[in-house]
């Protein structure tokens, strides 16, 4: 029961964050599709670390589906799903080396890059052409920056949570 409540709170939080980041039109700075801060990734990271992979997957899928109902369509849905799921898989994989090899920031960068790769791969499948992969040249550069930003936010959040120290036991 507690898990369901956490999941639904996190889904609405992720949706709110992706709405809020539309107020920071990064794509006016870099006019490419798929350019965004990726604040919702903080939620995915939190879910992955504190609720486990299953919850993170559920939150990610539902966030994409609901998000595309509010703003977007079937193309937007397939793009966001392919990006978000690939990002989640990569981050779950990198998390195995958390502490020893990677920090939250590194995992976040990996997720941001995977998100873009997943999106471009889907776009390429829709277009039936590989020329869209040219977008990745700039998208990956931006992913490093946005990955550091969202990773820093997540990292700060985790540190606060570790300090207060109650959450991990409560959910698990």
Partner 1 sequence: MKLKKGDYAIITAVLAASLTLSLIFTGSSASATTAVVMQDNQVIKKIDLSALKSPVTFSVGGDYNDLIIAEPGRIRFQEANCPDQVCVQTGWLTRPGQIAVCLPNKLSIRIEGNSSSGDQVDIIVK
| Phi, psi (rounded to 5 degrees) for 84 | -70, -40
One of 134, 160, 162, 168 touching partner 1 (CB under 8 A): 134
Cβ nearer to partner 1, comparing 97 with 172:
97
Using CB under 8 A as the binding rule, whether residue 102 contacts partner 1 is answered as: yes
One of 126, 160, 168, 172 touching partner 1 (CB under 8 A): 126
Residues 43 and 59 sit within 8 Å (Cβ to Cβ): yes
Q: What are the distances in angstroms from CA 13 to CA 2, 81, 143?
A: 16, 17, 22
Using CB under 8 A as the binding rule, whether residue 97 contacts partner 1 is answered as: yes
Using CB under 8 A as the binding rule, whether residue 23 contacts partner 1 is answered as: no
Looking from the CA of 54 toward its CB, the CA atoms found within 13 Å total 3
d(CA 118, CA 80): 9
Using CB under 8 A as the binding rule, whether residue 143 contacts partner 1 is answered as: yes
One of 65, 69, 101, 168 touching partner 1 (CB under 8 A): 101
d(CA 142, CA 140): 5
Question: Which residues bind to partner 1, rule: CB under 8 A?
Answer: 27-28, 30-33, 73, 75-76, 79, 94, 97, 100-103, 105-106, 109-110, 113, 123, 126-129, 131-138, 140-141, 143-144, 152, 155
């Amino acid at each position: 029961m507690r898990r369901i409540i956490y999941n639904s709170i996190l889904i609405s939080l992720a949706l709110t964050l992706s709405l809020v980041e539309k107020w920071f039109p990064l794509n006016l700075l870099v006019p490419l599709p798929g350019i965004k801060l990726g604040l919702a990734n903080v939620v995915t990271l939190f879910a992955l670390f504190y609720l486990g992979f299953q919850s993170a997957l559920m939150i990610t899928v539902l966030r994409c589906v609901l998000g595309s109902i509010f703003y977007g369509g079937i193309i937007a849905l397939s793009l966001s799903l392919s990006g978000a799921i690939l990002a989640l898989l990569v981050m779950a994989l990198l998390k195995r080396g958390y502490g020893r090899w990677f920090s939250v920031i590194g995992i976040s960068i990996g997720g941001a890059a995977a998100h873009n790769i997943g999106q471009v791969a889907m776009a390429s499948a829709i277009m039936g052409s590989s020329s869209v992969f040219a977008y990745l040249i700039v998208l990956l550069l931006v992913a490093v920056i946005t990955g550091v930003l969202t990773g820093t936010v997540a990292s700060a959040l985790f540190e606060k949570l570790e300090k207060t120290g109650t959450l991990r036991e409560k959910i698990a």
